[in-house]
Structure 1
């Protein structure tokens, strides 16, 4: 998937930056591989070039999976900041807190990523409000400095990268301004292809029968088509939900009950529930259990 030239450059990057022992446990292998080769190479090249990334795409396009794979590939600890209306500079950078009767500095995720050469995830960045945006402008600037009021001006570790994610049209989101966009290399995340989804399922559930790999893949794209046509408004196709259902089946739950818990019940609209249940009935037989779905 990665050519020899990129492998050599990644090795040089990894060998160039030590890991502080206190954060070594934050370097973890991703649960799922990222399967789109072209996007993977684009992201790797951007990291090597010292750029910060903005990953733009719909739900289930693998934005966070890509981030986890990149952090592990480059051997960097990972910190995540999830944006919402109440996130401010204190949540991101950190600030004063009381411990054992003394006032100390409590570092936030952006401070830690900056200090230890980590990858900082800026999740749903288009939900960030003005005070948080001001922090982002600072950390993403070419000067790579972070001001901690009352403490220090911290120079970002040379291995530090920030990777932002965003979905369009979520409630509470807004357009990013030009100044902030200019600080990123922007990758448009594609929708996973059917063949890639089959490979992903096979890589994680090696003993699943080919028939069910095909059926689960088709079911996922059935849901996506309904969502694209506006028939599903309150629930959207979600790969995590699909994989959760596999785990429940492995523990002995009936296939349809597993999909009810992980997919159907995520909608609170009765019409949508019935629509999803009809799709399940079309693709899967009643009373289907582990021995039917997986090879022993």
Structure 2
């Protein structure tokens, strides 16, 4: 999806013209190195939510870093990709896991052409190229990793690389953190880190927003089945919120993957088993979700019955 296409989409969503003109001015001022063009993401999906778009865009225009906080399937990474796209900035995705340390973020010494040089890490590359760094599941980061981020994210805007020069962040550099308290291994974000972001609480996707997302991806899907898939997802969400089942089957990517498999010819019930039902590893829970699917979709339903073409 091209940048102008995304901007047209935001205009259709009702995002302020003044804000979008500021985005265009930002892009005109901070020119992209053509060698980094392939690092500008092309989102597969659109994020629907005018208010959240306006909050996120104005925060970036104001020079702030953003922390996207919300439960599963709220579109945190979709929004992050969309922001990199509309601002036309190269993006580096930085995942935090048990082995992520300062060296893997900033860089490590390596021997090349007969001398020791720095093999640059993703934080270093974001800083020197004025990119957007997506800090995925930042509340899983170890203390050592967080210490690296503190000076990078606050008003100092530099990275002190031991044995090398101090690296100043380019003015267009921004960081977008995502977090979800529902996953194993997550923890509270400490006050020092939280103060370095403006925090956007991501709302759950509405039924109408979900239908727009599905329709945008699968324009040939018949209206009656679009309604059924949206209702199925919302029913699973309600059962998750009431504590009847875990959040494992509440997988928006899984729903879209299931519809894609249906479009390729797989029986719809089997496609939903692969994309959503089988993500429940507890037999009782899996049966509950399977029953929700069976109530809405007959087992002999075919691809030609749900797509118009």
User: Shorter-chain-normalised TM-score: which range?
Assistant: over 0.9
1:209 has 2:242 as partner: no
For the residue of structure 2 that corresponds to 1:253, the secondary structure is coil
Could you tell me which residue of structure 1 aligns to residue 11 of structure 2?
A: none
Residue among 179, 186, 195 paired with 1:173: 186
Could you tell me which residue of structure 2 aligns to residue 164 of structure 1?
A: 177
Could you tell me which residue of structure 1 aligns to residue 58 of structure 2?
A: 45
Give the C-alpha shift of residue 17 in structure 1. Answer: 0.9
Q: 1:235, 1:8 → 2: CA distance?
A: 41
Q: In terms of mean alpha carbon deviation, does 188-197 or 101-110 score higher?
A: 101-110
Give the C-alpha shift of residue 32 in structure 1. Answer: 0.6
Could you tell me which residue of structure 2 aligns to residue 58 of structure 1?
A: 71
Q: 1:289, 1:81 → 2: CA distance?
A: 41
CA-to-partner distance for each residue in 1:117-163, whole Å, 9 max, x for gaps?
11001111111111001011011010111111111111101100000
Give the C-alpha shift of residue 273 in structure 1. Answer: 1.0
For the residue of structure 2 that corresponds to 1:285, the secondary structure is coil
Change (3 A) 1:99 1:269: farther
Q: 1:100, 1:84 → 2: CA distance?
A: 32
Q: In terms of mean alpha carbon deviation, does 198-207 or 210-219 score higher?
A: 198-207
Instruction: Please give the root-mean-square deviation of Cα atoms over the aligned residues, in Å.
Output: 1.2
Is 1:234–1:269's contact at 8 Å kept on the other side of the alignment? Answer: no
Between the two proteins, the alignment pairs up a number of residues equal to: 296
1:233 has 2:241 as partner: no
CA-to-partner distance for each residue in 1:182-241, whole Å, 9 max, x for gaps?
111000000001111111111111111000110000100111111112222261411100
1:17 has 2:33 as partner: no
Q: 2:258, 2:51 → 1: CA distance?
A: 29
Residue among 117, 132, 136 paired with 2:145: 132
Could you tell me which residue of structure 2 aligns to residue 72 of structure 1?
A: 85
Q: In terms of mean alpha carbon deviation, does 286-295 or 59-68 score higher?
A: 286-295
Q: TM-score, normalised by structure 1?
A: 0.97
Give the C-alpha shift of residue 101 in structure 1. Answer: 5.3
Q: In terms of mean alpha carbon deviation, does 91-100 or 11-20 score higher?
A: 91-100
Q: In terms of mean alpha carbon deviation, does 100-109 or 30-39 score higher?
A: 100-109
Could you tell me which residue of structure 2 aligns to residue 115 of structure 1?
A: 128
Could you tell me which residue of structure 1 aligns to residue 10 of structure 2?
A: none
Is 1:234–1:268's contact at 8 Å kept on the other side of the alignment? Answer: no
